[in-house]
Structure 1
Amino acid sequence: MTEDHVWQPLADALQRWRDSGQQPVFWLRDDDAIERTKPMERLVDLTADFRVPIALAVIPAHADPGLASYVDGRKHVRPVVHGWTHENHAPADQKKQELGPHRPAGMVLDELRQSLAKMDDLFARWSPVLVPPWNRIDAALTPSLREVGFSALSVFGPPKPAALPLVNSTIDIMDWHGTRGCRPHAALVAEIVAQLEAARVGHAPAIGVLTHHLVHDEAAWVFLERLFAETAGLCRWVDVDELLAEDAATPGSR
């Protein structure tokens, strides 16, 4: 199958949206930012070329001031909060978590307060959206997140009831349990098309693409460039703050 055939189902799905007089919404979240690197520059330049905003999940405890000066000059990049140290506190027989139930809640919340303070020190522009490392957080913590200072939570998967607004990623381009490179393009396109169809026939969340610039292989970069090209002018790629504002204005949303 040629690459053009792989992408044809997306072109067809976008045409169905266009025929209905609607425009789908996409957003991009990239995780594990610490410092300015060549992969970071490649992602920032690529998204700038296609005018795609990035919610850049920064690990506050390890963030370099050089990252802040680089990001502050690029208006399409919006830093958000990726835990505190991205350190696993779960036992070896459990899935990794930094914000799990394995430590006193007060200790975890204090670290999150430090995260907000560090972000405020580093960045001129950022959003108090919490992206839990490994997309996992103890549900018992979420009622306290707003009083700590967070405005929203972003994990992976379909949204579930939560104590504050959710802006989830829904498409992860990486094959974490296999090659640890980009997932097959055909599989990714099929997932995106399925989510586009669900959104077109009823109220569904924006399609959130999740990336990890530090571990991208060449296939991941090729996929992103083709995705941005295929969707250009046919969908809206929105900033995380815009997405939250639109969700708040939608009847029945959180």
Structure 2
Amino acid sequence: MTETSVWQPVIDRLDRLRAAGQRVDFWLRDDDAVEPTPALDRLVELTERFSVPTTLAVIPAHTNGELSHYLACRDDISIAVHGWAHQNHASPAEKRQELGGHRPREIVLDELSRGCSRLRALHPSSFVPLLVPPWNRINANLLGGLPEIGFMALSVFGPERKPARNAEDAKASSLSAFPRLRLINTHVDVMDWRGTRGCRDHREIIRDIVRRLDEMNLDDEAIGILTHHLVHDESVWEFLSRLFDLTAAHPACRWRKVGDLIAR
């Protein structure tokens, strides 16, 4: 199977949108940034080459002025709050969580408030009031407190309109009870976390993109691509390069800053 045929389903969907006078929004969220690294250099160079805005989910407890200095003149990078220390507080029998129900609510919200203030101070021009929970998990009991400490939006993984399964393992699938908090999720993960811990098969990632294109509300939703620059293998970089090349110039596509998605 040739590379063109692998990508043909995406090309076909986008061409149909163009023919119908429609357009789809994409956004890129990259997790676990702390400091300048060669991997971050590579991500920044790649996204700048194709003019793709990037949202870096930064871990507040572990970052400092080096990252803020490195990003100071990069207008297309937004900074979101990636929990506090990306520390697991769940038991070995549970899925990993920093923002679960394992500690008092006040303590968790205080950490998030400090994280918000710290990143706002370090990145005054690029900070966005977006919370990205480590491991994409947050206890539903915390949601109501997020606007009070400065957050306007939340980003986890999965479709925004998916019904929540239960309160304890809330994926923040519906925020109808919290109108002051906007949900802007990621939907396509390039990493094979349960297998090779490298790039997923490109055909599988493309199927996820096509599925999202078929299911989403074009007027109010976007396709969120999730990456982790620190652990990318060559196959991830190849995939992203091809994705950006295909979409950045296509008239039916628009790569958006997350701040624009929060505001609309």
TM-score, with length taken from structure 2? 0.90
CA distance in 1, matches of 2:55, 2:247: 18
1:152 corresponding residue in structure 2: 153
SS of aligned partner of 2:27? strand
Q: CA contact under 8 A between 1:84 and 1:115: conserved in structure 2?
A: yes
Q: In the alignment, what sits opposite 1:252?
A: none
Q: Is the 8 A contact 2:130 2:155 kept in 1?
A: yes
Distance 1:207 1:155 in 2: 13
In structure 2, what is the Cα distance between the partners aligned to 1:227 and 1:120? 31
Distance 1:4 1:116 in 2: 43
**TM-score w.r.t. structure 1 length?**
0.94
Greater helix fraction, Structure 1 or Structure 2: 1
Q: Percent identity, please.
A: 52
Paired position in structure 1 for 2:199: 182
Deviations 1:61-116 (A, max 9, x none): 00131111111210000010000000000000000000100000011011111101
- Shift of residue 205, structure 1, vs aligned partner: 2.1
> What pairs up with 1:214-229 in 2 under 5 angstroms?
214-229=230-245
Corresponding residue number in structure 1 for 2:222? 206
Q: 2:255 aligns with which of 232, 237, 246?
A: 237
Q: How many aligned residue pairs are there?
A: 245
In the TM superposition, structure 1's runs of 4+ consecutive aligned residues that sit over 6 Å from their partners are: none
Q: What pairs up with 1:1-254 in 2 under 5 angstroms?
A: 1-125=1-125, 126-159=127-160, 160-162=173-175, 163=178, 164-199=181-216, 205-234=221-250, 235-246=253-264
Distance, in Å, in 1 between the alignment partners of 2:248 and 2:214 is: 18
Contact 1:58-1:82 within 8 A present in 2 as well: yes
> What is the letter of the counterpart of residue 221 of structure 1?
W
Offset, 1:147: 0.3
Question: CA shift at 1:57, angstroms?
Answer: 0.2
- Match of 1:110, SS state, is helix
Shift of 1:124: 2.3
Unaligned ranges ≥5, structure 2: 161-172
